[in-house]
Amino acid sequence: MIEEIAYGKINLAMNILGRRPDGYHEVDTVYQSVDLHDTVCLEKSDTFSLTCSCGELPCDESNLAYRAYKALLPFSEDLQAVRIHIEKRIPVAAGLAGGSADCAAVLRGLNRLWRLALPDEALRRIGRSLGADVPFCISGGTMRAGGIGEILVPLKKLPPWDVLIVHPHVLVHTDEAYDLFTHSCTAHAVDMGEMVNSVAAQDFESICSAMGNMFESLIMPHVPAVGRCKDMLTRLGLMPLMTGSGPTVFALVPPEKDGEEMATALREAGRNVDVIVTALR
């Protein structure tokens, strides 16, 4: 049996540039992996099976892990069955790319299990057809992404600063969030150059100041929980931001402060939210 760790992501900055004729949206974003992860176990078996520790998630063709298996099958010499189990920790439909991370982990895992020797670039190409965040999730880290998320430029690795993640128990479906952008384009663009320079300088304060997400002001009127999560983090003196298409909100914890202590305060103050302490990776 082999194990692949499927790390979640946050978007330190996110601009939506427009809708393409194929329905996808062009983005300009800075992705950042976090330690929060699912674990994907894969082993050879006589029959295919997919199981997940999270009961709400269907383990059928709609699961991105299953779609990754189907996409890689043509690369194996004979039709090989596998048993896949996902130990789910990343909240679902939360803007943390949990599904894309699982998908990338299955691509990496089957590449190893079946000794396909496909380079990461090939896995990213296959992943692109499965989801916009999958190419990034193949190797993760800190990256600026263009196109639909597949044109990746690695940035300098950031220190493992603590991150507080506040997840309201609300689902936001990515395609519905993008529909809001189509109908209303009043959101302010983020200065991506400022973010890239701040990451290069590894400057905590300027990274926090440069953080922004065009989705945030579009989603907030429709999902009031986002504003409430932001308020909780702001009251601790942090600079919160919604990740991806939401509804999860995160804040970087200053290096001199203790993320666990802040999380305890948040858990005492907040009802109907999950508070997760993790770190940049």
Residues known to be catalytic = 9, 133
Report whether 95 belongs to an annotated binding site: yes
Q: Which is nearer to ligand ATP, 96 or 275 (CB)?
A: 96
Structure tokens that stand for 264 in this block: 């305890």
Would you say 152 and 256 are in contact if contact means Cβ atoms under 8 Å apart?
Answer: no
Nearer to ligand ATP, 102 or 216 (CB): 102
Q: Which long-range contacts (CB under 8 A, 24 or more apart) does 65-69 make?
A: 65/40, 65/102, 65/103, 65/105, 65/106, 67/103, 67/130, 68/102, 68/103, 68/104, 68/106, 68/107, 68/110, 68/127, 68/130, 69/106, 69/110
Number of residues that bind ligand ATP (CB under 6 A): 22
Gap between the Cα atoms of 70 and 65, Å rounded: 9
Between CA 191 and CA 261 the distance in angstroms is 32
Using the minimum distance from each CB to ligand ATP, give the nearer residue, 243 or 262: 243
Question: Is residue 93 a known part of a binding site?
Answer: yes
DSSP 182: H
Q: Tell me: is residue 92 an annotated ligand-binding position.
A: yes
Of residues 230 and 262, the one with the C-beta less far from ligand ATP: 230
Chain centroid to Cα 165, Å, comes to: 12
Known binder of ligand: residue 100? Answer: yes
Task: Please state, as a whole number, how many other Cβ atoms lie within 10 Å of the Cβ of residue 79.
Answer: 8
Binding mask 74-113 for ligand ATP (x = CB under 6 A): ------------x-----xxxxxxxxx-x-----------
Residue in the block written with tokens 């496909």: 118
Per-residue binder mask for ligand ATP (CB under 6 A), 34-63, x = binder: -----------------------x----xx
Residue nearest to ligand ATP (CB): 99
| Nearest-angstrom CA–CA distance, 154 and 150 | 12
Site track for ligand ATP across 127-166, x = CB under 6 A: ----x-x---------------------------------
Contact 158, 31 (CB under 8 A): no
Min CB(84)–ligand ATP separation in Å = 10
Q: Please say which residue, 65 or 196, places its beta carbon nearer to ligand ATP.
A: 65
Q: Is 98 annotated as a binding residue?
A: yes
Q: Which residue ranges make up the site for ligand ATP (CB under 6 A)?
A: 57, 62-65, 86, 92-100, 102, 131, 133, 173-174, 244-245
Residue list for the binding site for ATP? 91-101
Residue list for the binding site? 91-101
